[in-house]
Each structure stands twice: as C-alpha cells, then as structure tokens.
Amino acid sequence: MQNNLHKILALNEIGSVNELLQKFDPKLGVVEGIGKYSYLSVESTSPKPYTQPTEIVIPLTNSNVDIVEFHRSFFTLFIDICLNVWVPDNNFDQFFLAGDDVGPGYMATWTEYLENLDLFFIGFKNATDCIDSYKLQHNGVDIGTTMQNRASIESFLYNQMKPQIEKSNKHGSYSLWEDVVKGDESVCGVYFTYAELKKQLTADNHRIRVQFPVTIGFDMLLPLQGFNLFPNALFGDLSLVIKINPNALVWASTDPQRYLLTRVQSVWAHAANRDGCFYGAETTCQHLEQILTARNFSHRFTQMRTDGIARGHIYSVDHDGGVGSGSYVCVPMRMDPDCTITRSAVSTIMGFSLKDSVKQALAQYYSNIPFVVPGERIFIQAFSTGPSASGLNSSMNIPLINAKEIIGLFPRTPNYLTCFRNPEYHHLMLTLLNRNFPQKGCNSNSTEFYRMELESCNLDTILCPTQSFENSYLKKACPYFPMRQRCSEDDTDFLMIFNLERQSSNAFFADPVNSTNESITLTGSPQSQGIGDGEIGKGGDVYYYLNAEDDQKDDEAHKNHTAPILAVVSDTFWMFSTTERPVYEVAAGWNETLAKHYPDVLRRLGGSA
C-alpha cells in the first residue's frame, strides 16, 4: 500500500490543486491584505450522546472555507467505555502476595508502593482501530462504494505500512509498545495503576470505566489517504459516517523493568527516609530487579474478549530483615466491553478561502476535466477452513479487480481484530495465478521472510518499521541483550504480504492483477507438533502459535480453530466533477484513467498514454 500513491502525490498534480492555485494567483487566499486561513471546530450533526452502535456523522469539509487541507485536518472522539474484568475468584488481592516470612508492616508497605507504581494500559494500538465500519457521504448522500464493514482489520493492515517516525510524531493517534512501557502520555489510551484498577473494580462490581480522547487525521483513513488540498467549494461537502468498535481495544500489563527502575530511586529514597522500611534506593532497586524479571506474563498487547496473563508479585524477607528476593505470580485476566458511549465528536478543519477570480478560474479548468484523487480499497474475507494437526491448507475462489497486494492474517480466536501473532510455520506460502508467493515456502521466523515483508511494505530503506513489527517476525530472545527483549517484546503486528505488481523508485507502474474467479491457496506446516500441557510437542491440538512458554496453556484459544483471513488490496481512484456526483471505484486501472484525463502526467510518471 501507499507506494504508488506517494509517487503521484509528489507531483502535486493529482489529489491537490496546489500548482493550479500558484498559477492562477501567487497570493492565493488573500483578500484586501487580510489572510483567510481558518481553523474551524465543527461538531457532529448526529444527536448526542452517541451510544454504540449508533452512527456518528463526522464533517470533513465546511462551507466557510473553499479549500480544505486534508493532510492537516483531524477529528477527535471522546470515548467512554465500561469494561467487565475477570480474574480467578474475582480476587484482585492476588496480584500482591507476601511470603510466610513477611510481617504485616512489610506487607502493607510493599503492597502500597507496588500497587501505585505498576502501570496497566488500556487503549487502541492505532486511533483508527476504534472504527467498526464507515462510509462516506457527498452532500449528505451515501457513496455506496466506500462502505467498509471490517474497518478495524483494515486499520491494522494500513497502519502496518507506516514507519515508526510517522507514528511517533502524532500525539494521541498511536500506541507504540516502546512508549507504553515507559508510561508515555502520547499514546492513544489511558493508564491505571494497580491501586486505581482494584479500587474501581471493587467499588463497581468488577467493572472499570475507561475515558480518553481519540485523535484521527483525515488522511489516516484509507479512502482519504490521497487527499491533500481539496476544493470543496467546487465539488461539494464530504462527511464520514462511522460506528465505534469497543472490541478493538487492547490492554497490557506493562513491563516494570523499564518504567519502575527509572522512577524508583527518587520515590523509594524518600520512603526510606520517611519510615525506615527500606535499605535505600540502590538496595531496593537490586531487590526489585530480582522480583521483576518474570517473563511468563503477557509482554504484549491483549485484545478485548480474549484471555491474557497479568503479573503479580510474591516477596519475602531476607536474612538482614529487609524485603529480599521475590518471585512472581501469573494471574489470568480477561476484559469484555459492556457499554460504549462517544461523548463528543468534533472535527478540526483547516483550510482557506479564495478570491472570486481564482475560484472562477478553477471552475473553468475543471469544467472539462475531472478532479482525480488516487486511492486504495481492501477486500477482507476469511478462508472457509482453518488449521489442522498436520498444518494449514486453506483455499478460496474470489474475483481480483486491480489487485496490487495480497495479505494473510492468522487470528488466534474470532475476537482478534488488531493483534495478530506469528503462526510459527515453515513452508508458508500463497498460491495464485499458477505461481507460489514466495516460490519456495519460507519459515515465518526467518530473516529471509522478514526481509521480503520489509520490501513489500516499503520499509526497507530510510523508513524504519516499529519495534513491534520487527519482533513479530524475529521474536527469538537474544542471550546477550535480555533487557531489550523484556522491555520491547510485543509481537502482535504480524502479517504476510506479497506484491502483485512492480515497484520502482524512478517510475510509476500500474499493472495489477485482474481475474474473474481466481483460486487462492494458503499452505504451511507447523514448526512443532502441538501444545497443551505446557511443553512443546506434547498434547493438545496444533494451532497457529506453538510457543507453549509464551501461550501459558490458553485452552480456549486452541479450541477455537479460527480460519486465516485473506485481504486483497486494489488500486482505485476518486473522480470529482462540478456537475455529477463523485465516483469511487476499481472498475478501470490507473493507466486507463490517467491516459484519458491526464496523459501528460502519465508520461512524466514513466507510463505510456
């Protein structure tokens, strides 16, 4: 995704009117010396409150500006969700237990500080994950071809192609694992200490209330990624209609190794001087590191309505009377969304007005030529069969229209929407068009496979993938850098993607695949023969994930043999006219569209008119 779009958009001739505005009036947007640039806050026209699954209408344009800067505009949702939380016996005190040799004073003191320093994260990995379905409207009328009913999975796929630097620079829109474990406030979600979590759960019958804002840029949505300067004064108003998906939330019991040890010296040094219960900061840090080296709890994001493992502590008293070496306890935990309310939905629209002469010149120019914006669509469908004890051999027949990429996902249960882990298969391949992708099946943990995925995602040069993306392919622990593996071990960003058309940094190629009924087969063999009782190769059915130490005997996951998901990415385009409704389709290819309306642009891109 995105590779060809960036080459076209770089010319500023498609998806933008920038060059035309510069041509018609170098001082565009100025009337009698007064600038007409605006920051507009426009609330949703839907009645409040927006309870799930109510549709929320998000305005993308406004009549007070003639040109909307889609690449700078955004909308903000304030989400209020109640979650039902389950732990064994509904006993939340089991997170912090004392050994037999710990007296009441030590018990109270350690529980107090550990509960207030351990962090618990609840939020979205990507802000657009919160959208369950969407469609676009033009002047209040639905554009049927924009409908996407599996928007959360589409969001996961689209955001995997984005480099780390883009995600790091958008506050409140992404939750990178390396930021979550540090307690960074730029994430798309909210933090709880264990003390706050236990207090809410005890007071509200094992329910917790989560409230936080979600900020989504207009161009973070797949159909709108190619928009730049959009002349809504000529082509009418656009709006987005969405439904919220609380099941796309994730939670994480964050690794205290990075977060606590950066804060414990100042906090506990003060405690030592206050009540004399501790040796001091240095000794306490040493004891804490012994306690917090547990690797069995979930060092990763866990999807809503699926089982995960939270961390608890057991500690004892050493021979000098201080709190000494400790161990851990793994506590199964599950969160289920109960009710969801979107308290507010406000668009921040950035744009400017034009002189009448410039507006007339634009109208004259586009009276004979459409305003074309490149785009992509994703078709998502699950295979009919899942894995068996001998491996994976799933097939389907689907039409391919302007298909440029094909993607495979491996959901652990039907509830997985944005957390997909490595299946740990070898001989993994897709077969279509009488060809294998790759030609020889690859090990999904191999460096070779990882390099192919980087090339397909265009993350192989100056654009760096996120740490979670890398861990999803190369997740084996490094004995020389155990701290790095403990702190950044999220591995829920796995996908299997292959390009079906050429890529080049010097020219634009549009040669997608078209087939009325194409047979697609996904095959692979497990690296090990089953899990079930905690040891690799012993008992239970084979499923996608075969690392028994990480999976912690998740029986429910192994009973729900979910079929893999196939996603097909197709080239498409928008065509706006001053006299007709906009068109968003994949019926014709880019070469045909550009040859008809923009032959000069096509020649500059390296194609033929």
Least confident of 44-48, 70-74, 129-133, 329-333: 329-333
**Mean pLDDT value across the chain:** 76
Specify the pLDDT at position 234. 92
Where are the strands (E) in 44-182, listed by range?
50-51, 56-59, 67-69, 74-86, 96-98, 119-123, 131-138, 141-148
The more confidently predicted of residues 570 and 501 is 570
Average pLDDT over residues 523-538: 56
Pairing between strand 307-317 and 96-98?
parallel
CB 199 within 8 A of CB 116: no
Distance (Å, whole) CA 241 – CA 228: 20
Specify the pLDDT at position 516. 86
Q: Is 603 helix (H, G, I), strand (E, B) or coil?
A: helix
Examine the pLDDT at 260 and tell me if it is beyond 70.
no
CB 337 within 8 A of CB 559: no
The more confidently predicted of residues 96 and 432 is 432
In the block, which residue shows the tokens 């620079």?
Answer: 169
Average pLDDT over residues 526-536: 51
Average pLDDT over residues 204-219: 91
Q: According to the per-residue pLDDT averaged within each range, which of 322-336, 411-425, 595-609 is highest?
A: 411-425
Q: Is 400 helix (H, G, I), strand (E, B) or coil?
A: strand
The more confidently predicted of residues 296 and 474 is 474
Examine the pLDDT at 427 and tell me if it is beyond 70.
yes
pLDDT category at 341 given cuts 50, 70, 90 is very high
Distance (Å, whole) CA 329 – CA 313: 6
Specify the pLDDT at position 249. 96
Report percent pLDDT > 90 for the chain: 30
Least confident of 30-34, 284-288, 448-452, 588-592: 30-34
Distance (Å, whole) CA 142 – CA 146: 9
Examine the pLDDT at 141 and tell me if it is beyond 90.
yes
Phi-psi group of 448: left, alpha or beta (phi > 0 → left; psi -120 to 50 → alpha; rest → beta): alpha
pLDDT category at 294 given cuts 50, 70, 90 is very low
Specify the pLDDT at position 340. 92
Total number of residues shown for the chain: 609
Examine the pLDDT at 2 and tell me if it is beyond 90.
no
Least confident of 13-22, 358-367, 432-441, 585-594: 585-594
Specify the pLDDT at position 557. 44
Q: According to the per-residue pLDDT averaged within each range, which of 44-58, 476-490, 498-512 is highest?
A: 44-58
CB 524 within 8 A of CB 423: yes
Examine the pLDDT at 550 and tell me if it is beyond 50.
no
Query: Domain limits of the chain?
Result: 378-569
Task: Tell me which residue of 102, 142, 88 sits closest to 277, measured CA to CA.
Answer: 102
pLDDT category at 482 given cuts 50, 70, 90 is very low
Residue-wise pLDDT for 146-193, tens only, equals 999 999 999 999 998 888 888 888 888 999 988 888 788 899 999 988
Architecture of domain 378-569: Distorted Sandwich (2.70)
